[in-house]
A and B are shown apart, each in its own frame.
Chain A
Amino acid sequence: MGKKIHVSTTINGEAVEFLCEARQSLLEVLRDTLALTGAKEGCNNGNCGACTILFNGAPVDSCLVLAVESEGAEIETVESIATEGHLHPLQECFLEGAALQCGICTPGFLVSAKALLAENPDPTEEEIRFELSGNLCRCTGYDKIIRAVQAASGRMKEVN
């Protein structure tokens, strides 16, 4: 093992520096080094989407990003979705609509759905299903997740 590498990045709006090994994934550094355990590891090979984060605004599986690749990047995790003590409409609608059971996939769905609504504020059911098909949920059968995203879309339009 060589020396650790120094990385400067922005996470949830704050400048962050960390040291990592070249082989460490961004997911690993977020969880183990920076204590941001909201992103979950379900497969570690980009299949399940439980570790989804926003990387320069785009949803990505953080298990597939090497930590060193985040030099200079803007990263947002599930921990940043609620602001100033208030839940985001997506979070409210997931709770009101019982869109989670065990909850392990929920952070990934919330991040993917946030990216979707930023791009497309009024998606159809089919568009939501397509955009969220990289996130696996084994508990809900997806019904209530799709409906929660639809409800959040409506609520965000009301606010704007």
Chain B
Amino acid sequence: MADTYKNSQVIKDPDDNYKTIGTRPIRHDGVDKVTGRAIYGNDVKLQGLIEGAILRSPVAHARILSIDTSVAEALPGVFAVATSADLPEAGDKIADLGEGPVNLAHLSANCLARDKVFYKGQAVAAVAASNVHVAREALELIEVEYEPLPVLTWVLDAMKEDAPILHEELRTNQMGKKGESPTNICDHLHFEQGDPDEAFEKAHLVVEKEFKTQTVHQGYIEPHVATAHWNQDGHLTIWASTQGSFSARDQTAETLALPTSKVKVIPCEIGGGFGGKIPIYLEPVAAVLSKKSGRPVKIQMTRDGVFEGTGPTPASFMRVKVGVDESGKITAAEAWLAYESGGFPGGVIGPGCMCVFSCYDIENARVDGFDVCVNKPWTKAYRAPGSTHVAFAIESVVDEIASRLEMDPIELRLLNAAKEGTKRVDGPVYPRIGLVETLEAAKNHDHYNAPLEGPWRGRGMASGFWFNIGLKSAVTAHVNNDGTVTLLEGSTDIGGTRTSIAMQLAETLGIAAEDINPKVADTDSVGYTDITGGSRVTFATGLAAIEAGKDIISQMKERAARLWECEPADVEFAEALFSRGDDSISFSDLCAKLSNTGGLITARASVDPQGFTNGFAVHICDVEVDPETGKVDILRYTALQDAGKAIHPSYVEGQLQGGSVQGIGWALNEEYLFDDEGKMLNPTMLDYRMPTALDVPMIDTVIIEVPNPSHPFGVRGVGEPPIIPPPPAIANAIKNATGLRMTELPMSPPRIFAALRNMENGSSGEQEL
């Protein structure tokens, strides 16, 4: 039976000897989720609840001359209509809201547009009515007068000197210095080390290529949804589907100019996020509709609203150049990266710049990155934000170098691999990392060494890097008299983290994972906790749970000392047993005595750990290209990754498999198709076409455990790296199958077909951008 589930391997750290960690208990919220009982955002039912809908801009760039809501307000069944006039003026304040600094005026205008709309689908007005049908009828009665403005839909067009300007007040921020004239370039980042120019001159071989990627959505199955109740006492309660209940609270409070203490966010189960449910869209809108109507208001986005009105990951243009010596050692590298930020400033170019060369030890390197406004949705985080783009570029160039030097691509990477002590071009020096071990495991894997025969078939591999982050987490643990522990945590649980956190407390206390009862608490009921993102929760919230566990042990030693009339320092604790000399008492027996020795115990911990360390993934894939249609089939796929320590291996495998398939979708099919007016042509799931079960094979996994020395159990974080290698691994496999070097994502059938025809007609096999 157990074997039915297995296509995974765990390469364990030989030193570990855990009781609970590394096992595969049933997740604590599992039964609710397989019986339909779990309460997601749209399952909230409240007395007097009414429903809202959002009016979205039909044009991609325009001045709003007027909005007339009077006819809509008069429709029977309509309780309230809201526009930006109902939101406080945000001024130009910058607030740190858990995912880095946010300009509040932009955040507010993205919830309800003010004087301009910057992309098609931007929210303009909202209605609350007795039901969603009436609300949608009312939307059609709102009269908005737009003065059309020129539309920009491609990053390089928006960077031109004479380009139309989206935000008149915008000046380029160039490493802290502000530019002087209006522009669409929000940021110009620059990193440099060594002397790349000289190194390129001396290089034995230099390969330079240009790459393009298109806008891609996170594609969570649950649309954004929020319910708000603005009580008569001035307290606002939000039931949210969010990756960060505290971040949602703070963003909402700032947008509405409310004191933090007046806003409570109750996190519901969340139906996927992948970075897209960090920003708020609906919460302040539902709140003002609730205030105006006196009723609780629920708004769920439509699916086209999700595609057009939320934050996808940007389209990009990249130029990457790498020089090597005769042995294949990389001596110089340069990247010029332009990412679209969308309708407002502030995209994901920063991590793009920091990730581009991060798998390699390169002495001489230069990176220039540009964050550029265009008339498309405001781009946001999507799993390893910014890293997948650059991996497509650098890993394709490195593959090209390997083939020109007739070197094995893994050998070339091992020769140049980043390791402990390597300095990244953006400054940091690596602590203990596991890239070399992961590459070695790939090199030795059966998949990499298996024969692959037949026409139009090829194998490729690629690596990927993600930082992983720490940030703040809190838990509260209540010890019950039956030996169980109730664990309140602030991290919203998207993929099983209740269990991975509970297992770390269980290991600390020496009890079973099933004896911990983990609950995701609301913002009034647990300490401040940052977002679920950055591959941080099992690491950082896990640390908080470990700290709380140590506090429980210390408090219980005092109780044991009271029983034995000794000093707490004389009591020892190991394997769920308290002892002093010949006296001993089990954890659960001592729990039964807590009530009579001073009362039950509560422990809590708040952490802000700095000891997070990086994650690396290496993927291998076999493809078959259909020359008649340009369609690429994945024949076999293996994802290897350094997890530090896999707390619950099944859910680590799940991250590797799910991330890989998202990356496969990005590589082969997913993209926003825009017309010249900035209108998305495919805002449905069937037309956007994410992978189905029929599009992918089983995803084999190898978890490599190179423990993080800064975490008691060695956890690094695993969620993000697996989305990074698929596009280049597949591009490299296509090259081996066909001779084509694809340089644009997605490598969809029409693009492959056209490139194959070009090659037949005598071109070099280089895709034309």
A124 contacts partner chain B, Cβ-Cβ < 8 Å: no
- In the complex the two chains form, what is the Cα distance from A37 to B40 in whole Å? 9
Assuming the A-B contacts A138-B220, A138-B658, are A95 and B685 also in contact, with contact meaning beta carbons closer than 8 angstroms in the complex? no
B167 contacts partner chain A, Cβ-Cβ < 8 Å: no
- In the complex the two chains form, what is the Cα distance from A145 to B658 in whole Å? 11
Expressed in whole angstroms, the minimum distance between the Cβ of A83 and any Cβ of chain B is 11
Residues 18-61 (chain A) with a chain B CB within 8 angstroms: 21, 23-24, 31, 35-45, 47-48, 50
Interchain CB contact under 8 A, B221 and A142: no
Expressed in whole angstroms, the minimum distance between the Cβ of B580 and any Cβ of chain A is 41
Q: Tell me the nearest residue of chain A to B1, going by C-beta.
A: A151
Expressed in whole angstroms, the minimum distance between the Cβ of B551 and any Cβ of chain A is 31
Q: Tell me the nearest residue of chain A to B493, going by C-beta.
A: A102
Q: Tell me the nearest residue of chain A to B689, going by C-beta.
A: A47
Contact of B692 among A87, A133, A139 (CB under 8 A): A133
Interchain CB contact under 8 A, A102 and B5: no
A8 contacts partner chain B, Cβ-Cβ < 8 Å: no
Contact of A107 among B36, B219, B270, B496 (CB under 8 A): B36
Number of A-B contacts (CB under 8 A): 198
B684 contacts partner chain A, Cβ-Cβ < 8 Å: yes
Chain A residues, CB < 8 A from B38: 103
Expressed in whole angstroms, the minimum distance between the Cβ of A115 and any Cβ of chain B is 15
- In the complex the two chains form, what is the Cα distance from A85 to B629 in whole Å? 51
Assuming the A-B contacts A95-B31, A98-B496, are A104 and B692 also in contact, with contact meaning beta carbons closer than 8 angstroms in the complex? no
B423 contacts partner chain A, Cβ-Cβ < 8 Å: no
Residues 649-704 (chain B) with a chain A CB within 8 angstroms: 650-651, 653-654, 657-662, 684-686, 690-696, 698-699
Residues 456-507 (chain B) with a chain A CB within 8 angstroms: 494-496
Contact of B24 among A31, A81, A98, A103 (CB under 8 A): A98
B429 contacts partner chain A, Cβ-Cβ < 8 Å: no
A78 contacts partner chain B, Cβ-Cβ < 8 Å: yes
Residues 614-658 (chain B) with a chain A CB within 8 angstroms: 648, 650-651, 653-654, 657-658
A141 contacts partner chain B, Cβ-Cβ < 8 Å: yes
Interchain CB contact under 8 A, B34 and A141: no
Chain A residues, CB < 8 A from B654: 98, 101, 139-141, 144
Chain A residues, CB < 8 A from B657: 140-144
Interchain CB contact under 8 A, A138 and B662: yes
Interchain CB contact under 8 A, A23 and B133: yes
Interchain CB contact under 8 A, A42 and B693: no
Contact of B27 among A95, A136, A151 (CB under 8 A): A95
Chain B residues, CB < 8 A from A42: 221-223, 271, 303, 685
Interchain CB contact under 8 A, A48 and B685: yes
Interchain CB contact under 8 A, B34 and A106: yes
| Proximity string of chain A (101-143) to chain B, C-beta cutoff 8 Å, 1 when within and 0 when not | 1111111001000000000000001001110111111111111
Interchain CB contact under 8 A, B693 and A38: no
Interface residues on A, range: 35 or more
A11 contacts partner chain B, Cβ-Cβ < 8 Å: no
B744 contacts partner chain A, Cβ-Cβ < 8 Å: no
Contact of B694 among A103, A129, A144 (CB under 8 A): A129
Assuming the A-B contacts A105-B221, A136-B692, are A38 and B36 also in contact, with contact meaning beta carbons closer than 8 angstroms in the complex? yes
Interchain CB contact under 8 A, A128 and B37: no
| Proximity string of chain B (16-36) to chain A, C-beta cutoff 8 Å, 1 when within and 0 when not | 000000001011011101111
Interchain CB contact under 8 A, B693 and A146: yes
- In the complex the two chains form, what is the Cα distance from A146 to B694 in whole Å? 11
Interchain CB contact under 8 A, A104 and B271: yes
B45 contacts partner chain A, Cβ-Cβ < 8 Å: yes
Interchain CB contact under 8 A, A41 and B26: no
Residues 202-236 (chain B) with a chain A CB within 8 angstroms: 218-223
Chain B residues, CB < 8 A from A35: 45
Q: Tell me the nearest residue of chain A to B42, going by C-beta.
A: A41
Contact of A47 among B34, B218, B684 (CB under 8 A): B684
A154 contacts partner chain B, Cβ-Cβ < 8 Å: yes
| Proximity string of chain A (77-108) to chain B, C-beta cutoff 8 Å, 1 when within and 0 when not | 11101100001000100111110111111110
- Contacts A24-B133, A138-B274, A141-B660 known; 10 new A-B pairs at CB < 8 A: A40-B271, A42-B221, A98-B5, A98-B648, A101-B272, A102-B273, A105-B271, A135-B693, A146-B693, A151-B5
Q: Which 10 A/B pairs are nearest by Cβ-Cβ distance? A: A38-B36, A104-B271, A141-B661, A103-B33, A98-B650, A141-B657, A101-B495, A47-B685, A78-B36, A133-B694
